[in-house]
Amino acid sequence: MSPLRFSLLCFVAGPCCIGAETGPDFQREIRPILSNSCFKCHGPDGDERKGGKEGSGGLRLDTEEGSRADLGGSAAVVPGQPERSELVARITTVDKDDAMPPVKSGKKLTAREVELLTAWVKGGGKFAQHWSYVKPQRAEPPKIGGQSAGGASAQKPGTEHSALSTPHWALSTNPIDAFILARLETEKLKPQPEAERAALVRRAALDLTGLPPTVEEAEAFVNDAAPGAYERLVDRLLASPAYGEHWGRMWLDLARYADSAGYADDPLRTIWPYRDYVIRAFNANKPFDQFTIEQIAGDLLPNATDEQLTATAFHRNTMTNNEGGTNDEE
């Protein structure tokens, strides 16, 4: 799956809005508010923490246990009861002495943020682990027109979608399309007609290589009437060196790669072997765990290869300054 398509799936199939039965999504909508406006005084740093009963160590809003702690007859979060929750009282009060965040902090919640926090408490005030610590679970694709993606299937009550509005791509072998169509129907949106072949080959080439197709490549795809033409097109694009150059650039930007050292004189430096390592990794479809391990600790691997040693240049992508001398080993 291309990164672009994966991003689209996250958008159309992800958690929705306040109207959901469980309230706002904690990770996507609530944690950012608490982190930006509350954790400085009610977070993990015990030396900075404020509030709570005397001797309690302060009020914590970064843990579920802390949010329910006794504040002396009240609690910051009383699940399902925003009217009894001190957090809701403090973010909605007009009393400047009680308002949270404090006026002197310079922070102020928006009306939308207040609405989200209140709805979160009303929905149970549930916390969640960071997504990276949660084992992924395979979701069952929605039933589309009595079929699942890739074949026929009996409908389950509440999962039916109109067969009349079902485009053939939603019944293809790729179940992602079923999720997309289900969300489109939830939003009362209709899918666009299938793109013309000339447009499709251009989109695929730009997405995977960052380059438009040549005239010959475009004509070859347009005139390929055999089954699996699109799959063969994608395979050719993924096998192109331009694929690694294009998508490798995304990682290099995140890693802050540059061919110069920065600061005032911004001198050139020799770090391009790391750039080429990243490009080769993408073109070879290197497993992500191996890709990250080599960059973080390639020099610590048993019998480390030159390739793995080169990968550790990841740590030297920051700006460097030679004024006053430097230690080459550093």
Render pLDDT for 203-220 as a digit per residue (tens, 0 to 9).
999 999 999 999 999 999
Q: Give CA–CA dist 24/115, Å, rounded.
A: 10
Please list, in sequence order, all residues whose beta carbon lies within 8 angstroms of the beta carbon of residue 32, skipping any fewer than 6 positions away.
none
For 10, phi then psi, to 5°, come to -60, -35
Q: Which alpha helices (H) appear in the chain, and where do they start and end? A: 3-13, 31-37, 39-42, 64-67, 86-92, 111-122, 176-186, 197-209, 215-222, 229-238, 241-254, 272-283, 288-297, 306-311
The CA-CA-CA angle for residues 317, 323, 328, to 5°, reads 55
Using a pLDDT cut of 90, give the percent of the chain over it.
64
Least confident segment among 6-15, 109-118, 120-129, 214-223: 6-15
Structure-token match 């540059």, residue found: 258
Mean pLDDT (whole number) for 268-291:
96
Res 152: pLDDT: 42
What tokens were used for 173?
A: 């072998």
Res 54: pLDDT: 73
pLDDT higher than 50, residue 63: yes
pLDDT higher than 80, residue 173: no
pLDDT band at 190 (very low <50, low <70, confident <90, very high): confident
Q: Give CA–CA dist 20/120, Å, rounded.
A: 10
Mean pLDDT (whole number) for 316-327:
80
Element (H, E) at 152: strand 151-152
Cα dist from 25 to 19, 109, 127, whole Å: 11, 18, 9
Structure-token match 């508010």, residue found: 33
Least confident segment among 8-12, 167-171, 306-310: 8-12
Least confident segment among 29-43, 139-153, 176-190, 249-263: 139-153
Structure-token match 């890739």, residue found: 150
